[in-house]
Amino acid sequence: MALHLVLSDKLTRIVLLGTCLLLVVASTVGLILRLRAHDEEQLRGTRNLVARIGAWWVMVMLLAAALAAGRAGVTLLFAVASFIGVGEMLTVRDVSRAVRWWLLPVVAVQYWLVWDGQPARFALLVTLCTPIYIWLVRTLTCGDWRERDAYVSVLICVWCISHVPALATMSRRDDVASLKLVIWLLIVVEMSDVLQYCWGKLFGRHKVVPRVSPNKTWEGLIGGVLSATVLGVLLRGLTPFTMLGAAVVSLIATLAGFCGGLIMSSMKRRAGVKDFGTIIVGHGGVMDRLDSLALAGPVFFWLVVGWYA
């Protein structure tokens, strides 16, 4: 029912069909490149590309299924992502996998507050309760992990990421408008990452922060952010923004996404790992895919909360 309501909007249909068409084209190109590979190195590269495209198919289908279930589906999808993500971040810091189960109540409480649709309550409660909960878990697990690692992991994976599904529940009057905000944010921020990569590969010369993320360049950042900002303006029909408002919010969200990616890269570098996990073939872990949303989600949420609060 929820998917039917979302698809009743012409622009949303165009966006979803365009995404599927883009994936079909990418899959076709990947298959052609794989068939034309002449040596093992080329074959390995094309296999990685095909695996990445396949992972995008799975992620898009999961999101479509969540949208079909409405705000309940979106909330559940991100709750699961938060639970897996916090486990990934604790695991790379050599924290026992068993500890993540102690964090399940934190995830459950946070996402119940998201479902409740009260921005102030959901934003404040976990922030206030997390230090107490971390102390309790540390005591129960004989103090074999540091409070800082636990706090940062919970803050990023639970508090920050939960702002994205909160967009889908912030308006009890118009669920469709709220769901379209989620679609808009995901497209703009994720495409900003992709476009930054493409611009960087084509024209990248000057590194932004080589010690933290050596693959990120100023050319990729500027080209990707500006391109994603234009995309956000073109898709402004999914939002309550004017053309100028969409441009400003797109620019802020994409820059926040870039900063979020840098923060997560810094954490991986400190932990001495390339990826947080391996659950998403070709992309790493859940938090490797959601790293930009860790900061873009909260920033975007509070930029638009005035329209629905």
Question: What pLDDT is stored for residue 248 in this prediction?
Answer: 94
The alpha carbon of 103 is separated from its chain's Cα centroid by a whole number of angstroms, namely 20
Residue 225 has what pLDDT?
A: 95
Q: What is the mean pLDDT of each run of 10 residues along the chain (309 residues)?
A: 58 80 83 76 71 82 85 91 88 68 79 76 62 59 55 80 86 72 92 87 85 86 94 91 93 94 85 83 82 92 74
Structure confidence at residue 229 (pLDDT): 96
C-alpha dihedral over 249, 296, 286, 85, to 10 degrees?
Answer: -150
To which H or E segment does residue 249 belong? helix 243-271
Name the amino acid, one letter, at 158.
V
Mapping DSSP to helix (H, G, I), strand (E, B) and coil, where does residue 40 land?
helix
Distance (Å, rounded) from C-alpha 289 to C-alpha 239?
Answer: 24
Residue type, 190: E
pTM: 0.86
Per-residue model confidence (pLDDT) at position 102: 72
DSSP notation for 113-164: HHHHT-HHHHHHHHHHHHHHHHHHHHHHTTT-S-HHHHHHHHIIIIIITTHH
Say if residues 162 and 71 touch (Cβ distance below 8 Å). no
User: What are 61's two structure tokens?
Assistant: 């289908």
